[in-house]
Amino acid sequence: MRWIESPDGICRFCFIAKKKNGNAVYRNRCRRVLRPFFFQWASLSEKPIWAMISVNVKSSEMNSEVLRSSGERLLEKLEGRLHDSL
């Protein structure tokens, strides 16, 4: 995950799942599962950011539960970094 402080004051997220990791159904599912975590967090965040989140796990090794727990870990990591930068 890469992020920068938002220059326009609005949170924006980009979810990237590469073609080599799975078919279109898998890539869309990754985005569909991760999107609510990040947009819910954005509504509560004090500091708006632009973030690019990439999914680098092959579809054979990933399921919805693993994806949700990965999203939660990413948010915890992001909150820690944002808190440190304040």
Going residue by residue through the chain (86 aa), what tens digit of pLDDT does each one get? 888 889 999 999 999 988 998 999 999 999 999 998 898 988 888 888 999 999 888 888 888 888 888 888 988 888 888 777 65
In order of their start, the domains of the chain are 2-85 (3.30.230.10)
CA dist 79 → 9, 18, 21, 60, 86 (Å): 17, 26, 28, 30, 11
Q: What is the pLDDT of residue 12?
A: 93
- In terms of pTM, does the model score above 0.75? yes
pLDDT of the residue at 14? 93
| pLDDT at position 86 | 58
- Other CB atoms within 10 A of residue 3 CB: 16
